[in-house]
Amino acid sequence: MQRWILRRKNEIALVSFIFIVIGFFGHWVLQNELVAMIAFIIPSVIGTIPIAIQAYQALRVRVISIDLLVTIAVIGAFVIKNYEESAIVTFLFLFGTYLEQRTLTKTRSAIKELTELAPEMAVKKMPDGSFLEMSVDEVDIGDILLVRTGAKIPVDGKVIFGEGVVNEATITGESMPIIKGLDASLFAGTILENGTLHMVAEKIGEDTTFGKIIELVEEAQDSKSQAERFIDRFAKYYTPFVLLLGVAVGLIWQDVELAVTILVLGCPGALVIGVPVANVAGIGNGARHGVLLKGSEVIHDFSRIDTIIFDKTGTLTLGEPQVAGVKNYQENQTDALAYLASIERESEHPLAKAILAYIGETEPFSVKDTDVIKGAGIIAKVDGRRIAVGNENLMEKEGIILTESVIADVDDFTNKGYSLVLTAIDGVLYHLLGIRDEIRENVKEDLIRIRKLGVKHLVVLSGDHQKTVDIIADELGLTEAYGHLLPEDKAAFIQNLQEQGKKIAFVGDGVNDSPSLARAQVGIAMGGGTDVAIETSDLVLMNSDFSKLPHALGLTKATVRNMRQNIWIAIGVVFILLMSLLFSDWMNMSIGMLAHEASILVVILNGMRLLKYSYKK
């Protein structure tokens, strides 16, 4: 019975409104007090029932809720035969609840839209070569899928045949279509606007990028910030205080009407709902713009950041380095390059791809006894020979003396901002490769925007040569730059700044960034980076779009401002209502409830403004 009644709160509110209209018609037009009284009694009774049920359910879990205050106030008004006010208060409370639910639903529209965009069907290639449409749940990793014009990409994977134009707005927040050809990555939930593609499934179900986005955003919306937890604790004690205050006033002054009016005026409805609605709207806006905020606490922490530390490769740079300079020190380079390629094929270092692209196809050799020297390079046995690949520190450890001409080449490449890779075979230096990674487009402008948002210190930490890091820092106008750092050195650097009172955000994209992402107050992962970095982080910039960072920072600051505005609106309304009760004659329960419901709508609508937030470039 209770569930049946609660499901029909909106219908009860509508019936209450009709009887209230009849009551005023009987009072003012018919001038029949009996009709008016009956018309006001009916909504007072039927309107109180769902409110009382909710109050009872809260009491069962030892919570004194707003519903209890309203229930007691309405019963009190009914006892003193103030049927008009009891009817109006119940209607306004039920109608306010209805409006709250409608507007809150709109703030969650971003998640609803994401869920609706999830692909449901896929066209799979069968063993006989035919294609069969089936549920996306039946797709397995390695399956060949057909995607036609206008269809959603069903899972994450790569193009193995064809070419098409894909809209990736659901992943990146950008609606500009991207041309996808052979070996291009595809993401579930994106739309093939033109063309026909054959793809191989690499990630399915919740493991797809789109599935993780929905999961992360839903988890974020269910989380509670420090402000929300404080308000929950405040309401836990404030609501019983209002109840006791009303009872005390009623007993001391022997004025039931004053007591029940205090119960209505003291309701903290807007205070309780103001912060959650701002958080939900902020997280929803981020999801629409390719920014994943992993929880309400992240919003609070990121808004207070005064220092942002960047990894270099793949963060400030594109992460697509190319060999820009070569110096050979021995005649026969064929075997040396083949050995180097064999080692780099097994490496996950960002420079490995550039080296392999430069060398091209070579004879493959088996690699044995690989020893990765952190911050220096790799030593391995290839074709029975000892190969050392790395920087000057590794060559020094191997006892290889760099001649003056080699040192001059190293200085020349360093001054040009190249990353250095030296290769030695059996203690003999064979060549030096200079690798350059282009700075991301418009990064300098984005960093200026970040400064304007209040971040005082912009620092780059890298395992690269100090001169290379300095060149990047000078070009981008960074505050500080440090090179030759191991992953543990970066984490220690962050800890040292934190001990000085700095609020740190770290931006990175690699596995070696994970300790720093975890150490910082806010870890920010580039969405095109490794799964480990994304899992460790607090905030993800989808598609590695650096331009989303100013939006994310501005959004969190706007969300925190919005929370504070809502808190002050709620407190201000309660204060004005109570002062009006003490120092005026016009304040009553109906006006108080109307003001409360209006304040709840104001804070909700104020929070919903965040859905349209966009950082003004």
Q: Whose CA is closest to 592, among 276, 259, 277?
A: 259
Neighbours of 477 (CB within 10 A): 11
As given in the structure block, the two tokens for residue 549 are 């960072």
Give the span between the Cα atoms of 89 and 101, in whole angstroms. 18
As given in the structure block, the two tokens for residue 75 are 């019963």
3-state DSSP call for residue 435? Answer: strand
Compute CA 441 distance to the chain's CA centroid, rounded to the nearest angstrom: 23
Q: Which residues are catalytic?
A: 311
Which residue reads 């009916």 in tokens?
42
DSSP letter string, 462-528:
-SS-HHHHHHHHHHHT-SEEE-S--HHHHHHHHHHHHHTT--EEEEE-SGGGHHHHHHSSEEEEETT
Give the span between the Cα atoms of 365 and 338, in whole angstroms. 8
Give the span between the Cα atoms of 371 and 397, in whole angstroms. 13
Give the span between the Cα atoms of 322 and 435, in whole angstroms. 5
As given in the structure block, the two tokens for residue 557 are 């600051």
As given in the structure block, the two tokens for residue 585 are 């004659």
List all residues 6 or more positions away from 455 whose beta carbon is below 8 Å from its beta carbon: 305, 306, 307, 308, 553
Q: Are 562 and 569 in contact (CB under 8 A)?
A: no
Give the span between the Cα atoms of 81 and 33, in whole angstroms. 13
Rg of the chain taking only CA atoms, in angstroms = 33
CA angle 548, 551, 556 (to 5 degrees): 125
Which residue reads 């690949």 in tokens?
389
CA angle 14, 16, 18 (to 5 degrees): 70
Give the span between the Cα atoms of 425 and 3, in whole angstroms. 78
Which residue reads 């009887």 in tokens?
19
Give the span between the Cα atoms of 192 and 132, in whole angstroms. 19
